[in-house]
Protein backbone atom coordinates (compact mmCIF):
# COMPACT_ATOMS: atom_id res chain seq x y z
CA UNK A 1 0.00 0.00 0.00
CA UNK A 2 1.32 3.45 -0.92
CA UNK A 3 2.05 5.59 2.19
CA UNK A 4 -0.04 8.75 2.50
CA UNK A 5 3.06 10.95 2.30
CA UNK A 6 4.62 9.05 -0.59
CA UNK A 7 8.31 9.07 -1.39
CA UNK A 8 10.87 10.81 -3.57
CA UNK A 9 9.77 9.01 -6.73
CA UNK A 10 6.02 8.74 -6.28
CA UNK A 11 3.90 11.22 -4.28
CA UNK A 12 0.78 9.59 -2.88
CA UNK A 13 -2.50 10.30 -4.65
CA UNK A 14 -4.17 10.49 -1.26
CA UNK A 15 -2.34 13.68 -0.29
CA UNK A 16 -4.73 16.19 -1.94
CA UNK A 17 -7.75 14.30 -0.59
CA UNK A 18 -6.45 14.40 2.97
CA UNK A 19 -5.35 18.02 2.59
CA UNK A 20 -8.74 19.18 1.33
CA UNK A 21 -10.52 17.17 4.03
CA UNK A 22 -8.42 18.78 6.78
CA UNK A 23 -8.86 22.28 5.39
CA UNK A 24 -12.58 21.74 5.02
CA UNK A 25 -12.90 20.39 8.55
CA UNK A 26 -10.91 23.33 9.93
CA UNK A 27 -13.14 25.80 8.08
CA UNK A 28 -16.33 24.14 9.35
CA UNK A 29 -14.92 24.16 12.88
CA UNK A 30 -14.07 27.84 12.47
CA UNK A 31 -17.61 28.71 11.41
CA UNK A 32 -18.92 26.73 14.38
CA UNK A 33 -16.58 28.59 16.74
CA UNK A 34 -17.13 32.05 15.25
CA UNK A 35 -18.81 34.75 17.26
CA UNK A 36 -18.98 35.54 20.95
CA UNK A 37 -19.75 32.10 22.34
CA UNK A 38 -18.08 29.51 24.55
CA UNK A 39 -18.61 25.80 24.00
CA UNK A 40 -19.01 23.56 27.03
CA UNK A 41 -16.50 21.03 25.72
CA UNK A 42 -13.87 23.75 25.28
CA UNK A 43 -14.36 24.92 28.83
CA UNK A 44 -14.27 21.40 30.25
CA UNK A 45 -11.05 20.43 28.42
CA UNK A 46 -9.34 23.72 29.28
CA UNK A 47 -10.18 23.28 32.96
CA UNK A 48 -8.74 19.77 32.95
CA UNK A 49 -5.54 20.84 31.18
CA UNK A 50 -4.93 23.70 33.61
CA UNK A 51 -5.20 21.41 36.62
CA UNK A 52 -1.58 20.36 36.00
CA UNK A 53 0.46 22.91 37.93
CA UNK A 54 4.10 23.19 38.91
CA UNK A 55 7.51 24.08 37.54
CA UNK A 56 7.55 21.39 34.82
CA UNK A 57 4.43 22.52 32.92
CA UNK A 58 5.58 26.12 33.28
CA UNK A 59 8.94 25.25 31.76
CA UNK A 60 7.35 23.25 28.92
CA UNK A 61 4.98 26.11 28.19
CA UNK A 62 7.82 28.60 27.83
CA UNK A 63 9.72 26.31 25.45
CA UNK A 64 6.62 25.65 23.35
CA UNK A 65 5.66 29.32 23.29
CA UNK A 66 9.04 30.32 21.85
CA UNK A 67 9.00 27.46 19.33
CA UNK A 68 5.58 28.24 17.89
CA UNK A 69 5.61 32.02 17.66
CA UNK A 70 6.39 34.05 14.53
CA UNK A 71 10.11 34.22 15.26
CA UNK A 72 10.20 30.48 15.86
CA UNK A 73 8.45 29.88 12.54
CA UNK A 74 10.89 32.11 10.69
CA UNK A 75 13.89 30.39 12.27
CA UNK A 76 12.58 26.88 11.60
CA UNK A 77 11.58 27.54 7.98
CA UNK A 78 14.86 29.37 7.36
CA UNK A 79 16.83 26.38 8.65
CA UNK A 80 14.87 24.03 6.41
CA UNK A 81 15.46 26.37 3.47
CA UNK A 82 19.21 26.59 4.16
CA UNK A 83 19.46 22.79 4.35
CA UNK A 84 17.58 22.45 1.05
CA UNK A 85 19.90 24.98 -0.58
CA UNK A 86 23.05 23.31 0.75
CA UNK A 87 22.03 19.89 -0.56
CA UNK A 88 20.97 21.52 -3.85
CA UNK A 89 17.36 20.34 -3.89
CA UNK A 90 15.32 22.83 -5.99
CA UNK A 91 12.02 21.05 -5.34
CA UNK A 92 12.58 21.11 -1.58
CA UNK A 93 13.43 24.81 -1.76
CA UNK A 94 10.15 25.51 -3.54
CA UNK A 95 8.30 23.35 -1.02
CA UNK A 96 9.60 25.31 1.98
CA UNK A 97 8.77 28.61 0.26
CA UNK A 98 5.20 27.48 -0.50
CA UNK A 99 4.77 26.36 3.12
CA UNK A 100 5.96 29.80 4.27
CA UNK A 101 3.38 31.45 1.98
CA UNK A 102 0.61 29.28 3.43
CA UNK A 103 1.71 30.29 6.94
CA UNK A 104 1.12 33.91 5.95
CA UNK A 105 -2.36 32.94 4.76
CA UNK A 106 -3.09 31.51 8.22
CA UNK A 107 -2.44 34.92 9.74
CA UNK A 108 -5.49 36.37 7.99
CA UNK A 109 -7.86 33.58 9.05
CA UNK A 110 -8.29 35.00 12.57
CA UNK A 111 -10.03 38.12 11.23
CA UNK A 112 -12.31 36.03 9.05
CA UNK A 113 -13.64 33.81 11.85
CA UNK A 114 -13.51 36.49 14.60
CA UNK A 115 -13.59 33.96 17.43
CA UNK A 116 -12.77 35.38 20.90
CA UNK A 117 -10.00 34.04 23.09
CA UNK A 118 -10.60 32.65 26.61
CA UNK A 119 -11.30 35.22 29.31
CA UNK A 120 -10.09 35.41 32.89
CA UNK A 121 -13.52 34.78 34.36
CA UNK A 122 -13.60 31.33 32.71
CA UNK A 123 -10.01 30.04 32.78
CA UNK A 124 -6.66 31.07 34.22
CA UNK A 125 -4.71 33.39 31.91
CA UNK A 126 -0.93 33.37 31.97
CA UNK A 127 -1.03 36.91 30.55
CA UNK A 128 -3.28 39.12 28.45
CA UNK A 129 -3.62 38.01 24.83
CA UNK A 130 -4.63 40.33 22.00
CA UNK A 131 -6.52 39.62 18.79
CA UNK A 132 -8.95 36.80 18.13
CA UNK A 133 -8.41 33.12 18.79
CA UNK A 134 -9.34 30.86 15.88
CA UNK A 135 -7.22 29.28 14.56
CA UNK A 136 -4.26 29.10 16.92
CA UNK A 137 -1.26 30.52 15.08
CA UNK A 138 1.23 28.71 17.32
CA UNK A 139 -0.51 25.38 16.68
CA UNK A 140 -0.64 25.99 12.93
CA UNK A 141 3.06 26.88 12.89
CA UNK A 142 4.02 23.79 14.89
CA UNK A 143 1.92 21.54 12.66
CA UNK A 144 3.44 23.04 9.51
CA UNK A 145 7.02 22.65 10.73
CA UNK A 146 6.36 19.11 11.99
CA UNK A 147 4.60 18.00 8.81
CA UNK A 148 7.19 19.60 6.54
CA UNK A 149 10.00 17.86 8.41
CA UNK A 150 8.25 14.49 8.20
CA UNK A 151 7.61 14.91 4.46
CA UNK A 152 11.23 15.83 3.74
CA UNK A 153 12.58 12.91 5.78
CA UNK A 154 10.14 10.43 4.23
CA UNK A 155 11.17 11.58 0.76
CA UNK A 156 14.85 10.92 1.31
CA UNK A 157 15.10 7.83 3.49
CA UNK A 158 13.45 4.42 3.52
CA UNK A 159 14.84 3.47 6.92
CA UNK A 160 11.83 2.74 9.09
CA UNK A 161 13.56 3.52 12.37
CA UNK A 162 14.50 7.02 11.23
CA UNK A 163 11.04 7.61 9.80
CA UNK A 164 9.27 6.54 12.99
CA UNK A 165 11.66 8.52 15.18
CA UNK A 166 11.16 11.73 13.20
CA UNK A 167 7.41 11.15 13.05
CA UNK A 168 7.22 10.66 16.83
CA UNK A 169 9.34 13.73 17.58
CA UNK A 170 7.40 15.90 15.13
CA UNK A 171 4.04 14.78 16.49
CA UNK A 172 5.24 15.31 20.06
CA UNK A 173 6.40 18.83 19.20
CA UNK A 174 3.04 19.76 17.64
CA UNK A 175 1.12 18.26 20.56
CA UNK A 176 3.31 20.10 23.07
CA UNK A 177 2.72 23.47 21.42
CA UNK A 178 -1.03 22.87 21.24
CA UNK A 179 -1.17 21.79 24.87
CA UNK A 180 0.81 24.87 25.93
CA UNK A 181 -1.68 27.24 24.32
CA UNK A 182 -4.55 25.71 26.27
CA UNK A 183 -2.55 25.53 29.50
CA UNK A 184 -1.62 29.23 29.23
CA UNK A 185 -5.24 30.25 28.60
CA UNK A 186 -4.29 31.67 25.21
CA UNK A 187 -6.63 29.47 23.20
CA UNK A 188 -9.60 27.16 23.43
CA UNK A 189 -9.08 23.52 22.38
CA UNK A 190 -11.06 24.17 19.18
CA UNK A 191 -8.59 26.94 18.29
CA UNK A 192 -5.73 24.47 18.68
CA UNK A 193 -7.50 21.74 16.70
CA UNK A 194 -8.19 24.24 13.93
CA UNK A 195 -4.56 25.36 13.91
CA UNK A 196 -3.34 21.78 13.66
CA UNK A 197 -5.78 21.02 10.85
CA UNK A 198 -4.87 24.10 8.83
CA UNK A 199 -1.16 23.52 9.43
CA UNK A 200 -1.15 19.89 8.31
CA UNK A 201 -3.63 20.54 5.49
CA UNK A 202 -1.73 23.46 3.98
CA UNK A 203 1.60 21.63 4.24
CA UNK A 204 0.25 18.50 2.55
CA UNK A 205 -1.23 20.71 -0.16
CA UNK A 206 2.14 22.42 -0.62
CA UNK A 207 3.86 19.05 -0.98
CA UNK A 208 1.36 17.95 -3.60
CA UNK A 209 1.69 21.19 -5.58
CA UNK A 210 5.49 21.10 -5.62
CA UNK A 211 6.41 17.43 -5.76
CA UNK A 212 3.61 16.30 -8.05
CA UNK A 213 4.65 19.05 -10.48
CA UNK A 214 8.22 17.77 -10.21
CA UNK A 215 7.09 14.24 -11.04
CA UNK A 216 5.21 15.46 -14.12
CA UNK A 217 8.31 17.36 -15.29
CA UNK A 218 10.53 14.30 -15.01
CA UNK A 219 8.03 12.04 -16.78
CA UNK A 220 7.11 14.49 -19.55
CA UNK A 221 7.88 13.23 -23.08
CA UNK A 222 9.66 16.52 -23.81
CA UNK A 223 12.04 15.86 -20.91
CA UNK A 224 12.49 12.16 -21.51
CA UNK A 225 16.00 10.89 -22.16
CA UNK A 226 16.54 10.60 -25.94
CA UNK A 227 17.12 7.09 -27.26
CA UNK A 228 20.72 6.09 -27.89
CA UNK A 229 21.41 5.56 -31.53
CA UNK A 230 24.36 3.84 -33.13
CA UNK A 231 26.62 5.37 -35.74
CA UNK A 232 25.00 3.15 -38.40
CA UNK A 233 21.56 4.57 -37.64
CA UNK A 234 22.85 8.05 -38.27
Is the predicted pLDDT of residue 127 greater than 50, yes or no? yes
Distinct helix (H) and strand (E) counts, the chain = 9, 0
Cβ pair 175, 49 in contact under 8 A: no
Q: What is the pLDDT of the chain when averaged over all its residues?
A: 84
Query: How many residues appear in the chain?
Result: 234
pLDDT digits (tens, 9 = 90+) for 149-201: 999 999 888 899 999 999 999 999 999 999 999 999 999 999 999 999 999 99
Beta-carbon contacts of residue 191 (< 8 Å; ≥ 6 apart) = 33, 115, 117, 133, 134, 135, 136, 139, 181
> Any idea where the domains of the chain sit in the sequence?
63-211
pLDDT digits (tens, 9 = 90+) for 48-83: 999 998 889 889 888 888 877 778 788 888 888 888
- Whole-angstrom Cα distance, residue 9 to residue 151? 13
- Whole-angstrom Cα distance, residue 83 to residue 89? 9
pTM: 0.83
Q: Which is higher by pLDDT, 61 or 131? A: 61
pLDDT for the residue numbered 10: 54
Amino acid sequence: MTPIIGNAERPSRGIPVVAIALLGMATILGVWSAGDNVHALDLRVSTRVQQWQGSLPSFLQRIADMSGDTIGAIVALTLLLIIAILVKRPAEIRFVMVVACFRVVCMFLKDIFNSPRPTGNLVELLRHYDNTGYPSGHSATAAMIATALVILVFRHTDRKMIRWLVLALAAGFALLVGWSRIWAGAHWPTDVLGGWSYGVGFTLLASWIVFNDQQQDTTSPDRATPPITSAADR
